[in-house]
Amino acid sequence: MLNLHKTMKDISNAADWVSLRQLSEKTTWRSVRDEKPVTNAIVFTEGIMVEVLVNGQFAYAATSDISDGGVKRALEQALLMAKKSSAHKVHPFTLDQRIASKGRYSSPIVKSLDAISAGEINDIFVAATKAMKVSDKVVSRNATAMIVETNMKYVSSEGADIEQNFSIVSTDLSVTAADGNNVQMRSDSGGLARCLQVGAEVFDRASLTQRAQRAGEEAIELLAADNCPEETVDLILAPDIMTLQVHESIGHPLEYDRILGDERNYAGWSFVQPSDFGSLQYGSKLMNVTFDPTIEGEMASYGYDDTGLAATKQFLIKDGVLERGLGSLESQARLNLPGVANYRSSSWNRAPIDRMANINLEGGTQTLEDLISSVERGVYMKANKSWSIDDYRNKFQFGCEYAQLIENGKITKTLKNPNYRGTTVKFWNGLKGVSAKTEVFGSPFCGKGEPNQIIRVGHATPHCLFSNVEVFGA
Partner 1 sequence: MNFTTRTQINFNKVADKVLAAILPNEEISVNFNAEETLFVRFNNSKVRQTTSVEQTSLEIRVQFNGRTADASFNLTGNTEHDQAQGLKWLEILRKEIATLPEDPYQVPMTNNGSSESAHTGKLLAAADVVEAIVTPAQGCDFAGLYTAGPLITANRNSKGQSHWFATESFFMDFSIYNGQKAVKGVYAGTEWKQTDFVKQLESSKAQLALMDKPKKVLQPGAYRTYLAPGAVAEIAGMFRWEAMSYNAYKQGNSSMKKLADKEKSLSPKFSLRENFGMGLTHRFNSLGELAPENLDLIKNGELANFMVSSRSAKEYGVTGNAAEGYEGPRSMEISSGTLAKEDILKELGTGLYLSNLHYINWSDRPTARITGMTRYACFWVENGEIVAPIADLRFDESMYDCFGENLEAVTNFQDVDPEVGTYHGRSFGGKKIPGMLIKDFKFTL
Candidate list 11, 16, 37, 414; residue touching partner 1; CB under 8 A: 37
Quick one: which segment of 122-130, 163-171, 282-290, 429-437 binds partner 1 (CB under 8 A)?
122-130
Strands (E) across 238-392 are located at 289-291, 314-318, 321-322, 343-344, 353-354, 359-361, 377-389
CB of 426 to partner 1, least distance (A): 11
Within 309-368, the residues that bind partner 1 by CB under 8 A are: 347, 349-351, 353
CB of 69 to partner 1, least distance (A): 9
Q: What angle is formed at CA 29 by the lines to CA 23 and CA 31, rounded to 5 degrees?
A: 170
Helix (H, G, I), strand (E, B), or coil: what is residue 86? helix
- Indicate whether 112 belongs to the interface with partner 1 (CB under 8 A): no
CB of 456 to partner 1, least distance (A): 14
CB of 238 to partner 1, least distance (A): 20
CB of 383 to partner 1, least distance (A): 15
Within 186-215, the residues that bind partner 1 by CB under 8 A are: none
Helix (H, G, I), strand (E, B), or coil: what is residue 299? coil
Closer residue to partner 1 (CB): 176 or 301: 176
Q: Cα separation of 376 and 464, whole Å? A: 16
CB of 26 to partner 1, least distance (A): 9
Using CA of residue 244, residue 248, residue 249, residue 250, what is the dihedral sign? positive
**Residue of 203, 262, 109, 197 lying closest to 457 (CA atoms):** 197
Quick one: which segment of 44-52, 96-104, 151-159, 200-208 binds partner 1 (CB under 8 A)?
44-52
Q: Cα separation of 160 and 18, whole Å? A: 10
Burial pattern 301-326, b for ≥16 Cβ within 10 A else e, equals: bbbbbbbbbbbeebebbbebbbbbbb
- C-beta atoms surrounding 1 within 10 Å: 5
- Indicate whether 88 belongs to the interface with partner 1 (CB under 8 A): yes
Closer residue to partner 1 (CB): 397 or 467: 397
Candidate list 13, 181, 273, 336; residue touching partner 1; CB under 8 A: 181
Candidate list 10, 11, 40, 100; residue touching partner 1; CB under 8 A: 40
Pairing of strands 161-179, 102-106: parallel
- Indicate whether 62 belongs to the interface with partner 1 (CB under 8 A): yes
Element (H, E) at 151: strand 138-156
Closer residue to partner 1 (CB): 11 or 178: 178
Give the number of residues in contact with partner 1, rule: CB under 8 A: 88
Candidate list 77, 151, 165, 414; residue touching partner 1; CB under 8 A: 77
Candidate list 3, 67, 112, 373; residue touching partner 1; CB under 8 A: 67
Candidate list 3, 5, 9, 64; residue touching partner 1; CB under 8 A: 64
Within 426-465, the residues that bind partner 1 by CB under 8 A are: 447, 450-454
Closer residue to partner 1 (CB): 78 or 357: 78
Tell me whether residue 178 is exposed, middle or buried, using C-beta atoms within 10 angstroms of its C-beta: 0 to 12, 13 to 18, 19 or more.
middle
Candidate list 117, 312, 365, 412; residue touching partner 1; CB under 8 A: 117
Could you give the C-alpha distances from 314 to 99, 119, 301, in angstroms and in order? 19, 43, 13
Candidate list 74, 309, 372, 375; residue touching partner 1; CB under 8 A: 74
Q: How far apart are the first and last CA of the chain?
A: 57
In one letter, which amino acid is 326? Answer: L
DSSP character at residue 247: I
Closer residue to partner 1 (CB): 241 or 371: 241
- Indicate whether 80 belongs to the interface with partner 1 (CB under 8 A): yes
